[in-house]
Amino acid sequence: MDKGYIDIEGNRITDVVLGEKPEGDYIDMSGKYVLPGLINIHSLDFVKEISSKYIKFFTEEKAFYQVEKLLAESGITTVFHTFTLDKFSEDRDLEEVIEKLTYVKSYRKRKFLIDHKVHLKFKLGDVNLNKRLKALFDAECVDFVTCTGYNSDIIEEYQEQYYSQYLQDRFEIDEELAGRISERLKELREESALDELSYKIKFAKSRKIPFAVSKCELVEKLRETYKIGIDLLVDPRNPKSMEYISCNNLSASIDVECLVAENSSIDFVDEMAEDNINILSASKRSRDILEYVFNLEGNIGLPKAVRLASYNPAMALGMYEKGEIAPGKEADIIVVDIFEDLPINIMTISDGKIIVKYNYN
């Protein structure tokens, strides 16, 4: 648009006016792209920092601030820091895990740059992790949960082969009967794991915590057996998953690395064009999201590309006050200029305050 302005009061957008210039003082961003602040639902930036061998030279708070500063400069105004529950809690007791996750969630209140949230990933089949997950829900230090499947699939396959051979030797039965017994035991374990998952989902939903899975088979079984819907399917990797997403109108996210993966059986850009993939995240390098959004402009158009990292994740995860520039929404806004064919974020407004501003030629 040639003329127009966004009116902000406090931390809210109060008006969006097209075709007019504002009265009084304003920041002129003519010729620039004004977009909603980006949302990354799966970031490992902070986890990588605190796992680095160099962390011994810095405090965790300093490392966290460096990550936050980089995210803000990259146009990210809401980030979900992803923790894998079994790894993160391996050398920590429950109280320490709660303390660490609460620290992440409450950081904005102390430093005030961007909005930090906690994304917890786990696998089924570990009783101790079940207790920890419930305790973390009760402590209100989790914002988003993803089940990534069953625990130790490869080990389980080996154990099944071993157990089948044991049945043949111990009870002198043939291979076919031993195989049927092993298969039935596997089905019972899967049913038990599904019961476990349905309990976790119900508990999460009672706390208004969005729940995602990474296997479409789990989504299908949950719908058929327990009449439970899933908020999001994460990183679908095969045509069967894409077909299921298309037929069932699911939200689905992929990592930016999928767009450059070799020998993939899925054309993810085509799936984005068809709205089967509607969320873009970046686990390893959050700063890449802005560039990928603009790279997708020629394939799916810039408005749809921007929604992949703003409006769509906000709606999928119940953040209805984020993700778009509209009256009543949170004032999370970025301003982007193109410099030598690269998108450069020159201003970040988070919660109504300018936290990043660059002047350059």
**187, exposed or middle or buried, with CB in 10 Å at 0-12, 13-18, 19+?**
exposed
Question: Which pLDDT score, from 0 to 100, does residue 360 have?
Answer: 57
Bridge partners of residue 8, in order along the sequence: 13
Q: Could you report the per-residue pLDDT of 237-252, keeping only the tens digit for each?
A: 888 888 888 888 889 9
Selection from 74, 77, 53, 76 nearest residue 63 by Cα: 53
Whether 56 contacts 97, CB under 8 Å: no
Whether 94 contacts 119, CB under 8 Å: no
Whether 213 contacts 248, CB under 8 Å: no
Residue environment code for 269-305, b if the CB has 16+ CB neighbours within 10 A, otherwise e: bebbeebbbbbbbbbebbbbbbbbbbebeeebeeebb
* The residue type at 311: Y
Selection from 223, 249, 220, 281 nearest residue 76 by Cα: 281
Whole-structure pTM value: 0.87
Question: Which pLDDT score, from 0 to 100, does residue 252 have?
Answer: 93
CA-CA distance, 55 to 32, in Å (whole number)? Answer: 38
Query: Which residues 6+ apart lie within 8 Å of 1 measured at CB?
Result: 18, 19
Cα separations in angstroms, 234 against 46, 79, 218: 20, 16, 12
Residues in the chain: 361
Question: Which pLDDT score, from 0 to 100, does residue 304 have?
Answer: 96
- Residue ranges in the chain modelled with pLDDT below 70: 1-2, 51-57, 107-112, 127, 151-163, 186-190, 360-361
Tokens of 81: 């820091």
CA-CA distance, 194 to 190, in Å (whole number)? Answer: 6
Q: Could you report the per-residue pLDDT of 162-214, keeping only the tens digit for each?
A: 667 777 777 788 888 877 877 777 666 667 777 878 888 888 888 899 999 98
Question: Which pLDDT score, from 0 to 100, does residue 158 have?
Answer: 47
CA-CA distance, 115 to 71, in Å (whole number)? Answer: 10
Selection from 324, 317, 318, 304 nearest residue 13 by Cα: 324
